[in-house]
Amino acid sequence: MNNFSNTHLAKYGFATPARRKTTAFQLVDGKRLKSLVKDLDTADQEALVKQSFSGKSGQIAWLSGDNLWIGWNGKHGLQTLGSLPFKLPGGFYRCESELEEIDLIGWGLGSYQFDRYKKQDRSPSILVASKTKKLQRALEAIDPTYLARDLINTPSQDMSPADFEKVTKRVAKQFSAKVSVMRGDALLKSGCGAIHAVGRAAEVPPRLIELTWGNKKNPTIAIVGKGVTFDSGGLNIKPGGSMRQMKKDMGGAAIALGLAKLVMSRELPIHLKLLIPLAENAISGNAFRPGDILQTHKGITVEIDNTDAEGRLLLCDALSISLGYKPELIIDFATLTGAARVAVGTEISAMFCTNAEDTQALMASGDDQDDPVWPLPLHEGYEYMLASNVADITNSAPGGYAGATTAALFLKRFVDTTPWIHFDVMAFNARTRPARPEGGEAMGMRATYEFLERRYGNS
């Protein structure tokens, strides 16, 4: 269990009750507004009109006697409280309406700031809440989200494969998990020719981190994350505009590590295998080339059609290694294709599932967690697009139609018949929304945890 200190609480926008002045607010359901207004005196009724308060989610109205109303859409979720930490004047607040865990998560996620390189104008307002189970659980979900966001927001210069390894080891230590790392040429010796090829041109060598946690008698679940610390495209270099955000190409790895942290802090009774392949897709004299043929860990040969389709190369070796642990389920996260973004946009996680029931369960968990995921087809009829004349498969299908599906079909070759869930995510909020500040985001993490807890949890 994670014991959150007061410094942590403040960082996440919370404080526990103490003798300090707090401003109380209540959530006012827009639908019930009319009947509530009737009970106000005329001065307060006028105050509402002056502040154009219509009860919309996140709207603020100050009434007499420091009475504070917050508009609410009647649904517990990230939206309402998630907008407040930087909208309310700085200070301490307490909520008089009953809050759910997801509301508290909203406040915490809305309090996030990335201040490693720039001092921020103000700190978030603080919600004073007693140390209940709800708050503890909310903090357990907020903390790994902050971790993933920080990792993604950190520029590649400070988030190399070696930097990511350090962070992983720190997390592992906190929960007494075991970590092993294969670096550089050791990857070749273990047969991971694909991870090695993607990362060998970079200054900092590629690596595969394995974190193991939990009782071996519990079901083994493998979690895998794409860790490309910068994606220049390689020799198939990306144009400037497309390269601009590619520090986030380790977003899958960040989300996978966040999910692992959530699993460990809540002591979910599973046997966890986290595999994180890390590489920078850089350009130099020894970079891998279009036309090269890679030997993968699974023994499948891959012809390189495009060095920018590097994520699937990292993942294929990691997935193949995970099979050795005989997991009953494999889950991976990756900023894998632009095509997934074209299909579902930047605010939904695209998902591919080998099991139709898992698809439904994940969508339901995503709904409840306000972390939307949506399935795309794992249509085997498109496998022909991965054919190569000189190798077993190619890393990029010609034409580009169904690009997210062909990428998923590529990966599927490396998981055999093991039940598998694959997320193709943005890992980045392109715009600020309540609880979702612009920048790195742990998309799909809470949806997946909820799914796992429903299946494997004790309660």
Quick one: how far is CA 3 from the chain centroid?
22
Provide the minimum distance between the beta carbon of 445 and ligand BES in the complex, in angstroms, as a whole number. Answer: 17
Does the footprint of ligand BES cover residue 338 (CB under 6 A)?
yes
**No. of H helices and E strands in the chain?**
16, 20
Catalytic residue among 247, 266, 312, 412: 312
Provide the minimum distance between the beta carbon of 88 and Zn ion in the complex, in angstroms, as a whole number. Answer: 39
- Return the HEC string of 164-178: HHHHHHHHHHHCCCE
Which one of residues 183, 341, 436, 446 is an interface residue with ligand BES (CB under 6 A)?
Answer: 341
Which one of residues 150, 231, 332, 370 is an interface residue with ligand BES (CB under 6 A)?
Answer: 231
Strand order in the sheet with 23-29: 14-15, 126-128, 92-95, 23-29, 67-72, 60-63
Chain positions contacting Zn ion, by CB under 5 A: 228, 231, 249, 308, 310-311
Does residue 149 carry a catalytic annotation?
no
Which residues inside 243-262 make contact with ligand BES, applying CB under 6 A? 249
Which positions from 378 to 397 touch ligand BES by CB under 6 A, shown as an x/- string? ------------------x-
Does residue 238 carry a catalytic annotation?
yes
Residue carrying the six token digits 């074209």: 342
Provide the minimum distance between the beta carbon of 249 and ligand BES in the complex, in angstroms, as a whole number. Answer: 5
Rounded to 10 deg, the angle between the 161-174 and 133-153 helix axes is 160
Does the footprint of ligand BES cover residue 229 (CB under 6 A)?
no
Q: Point out which span in 137-145, 149-157, 282-290, 306-314 binds ligand BES (CB under 6 A).
A: 306-314
Q: How many residues bind ligand BES (CB under 6 A)?
A: 16
Catalytic residue among 94, 134, 238, 433: 238
Instruction: Pick the closest to residue 70 from 82, 52, 57 (CA basis).
Output: 57
For residues 314 and 296, give the distance between their C-alpha atoms in angstroms, rounded to a whole number. Answer: 10
* 339, interface contact from ligand BES, Zn ion, none, CB < 5-8 Å by kind: ligand BES
Contact 349, 423 (CB under 8 A): yes
Give the Cβ contact number of residue 194 at 10 Å. 32
Which residues inside 412-441 make contact with ligand BES, applying CB under 6 A? 426
Which one of residues 306, 354, 388, 418 is an interface residue with ligand BES (CB under 6 A)?
Answer: 306
Provide the minimum distance between the beta carbon of 456 and Zn ion in the complex, in angstroms, as a whole number. Answer: 31
Count of alpha carbons within 13 Å of 63, Cβ hemisphere only?
A: 21
Task: Supply φ then ψ for residue 378, to 5 degrees.
Answer: -95, 65
Instruction: Pick the closest to residue 163 from 74, 98, 227 (CA basis).
Output: 227
DSSP of 17-40 = --SS--EEEEEEEGGGHHHHHHTS
Provide the minimum distance between the beta carbon of 45 and ligand BES in the complex, in angstroms, as a whole number. Answer: 49
Binding footprint of ligand BES on the chain (CB under 6 A): 231, 249, 306, 308-311, 335-339, 341, 396, 403, 426
Catalytic residues: 238, 312
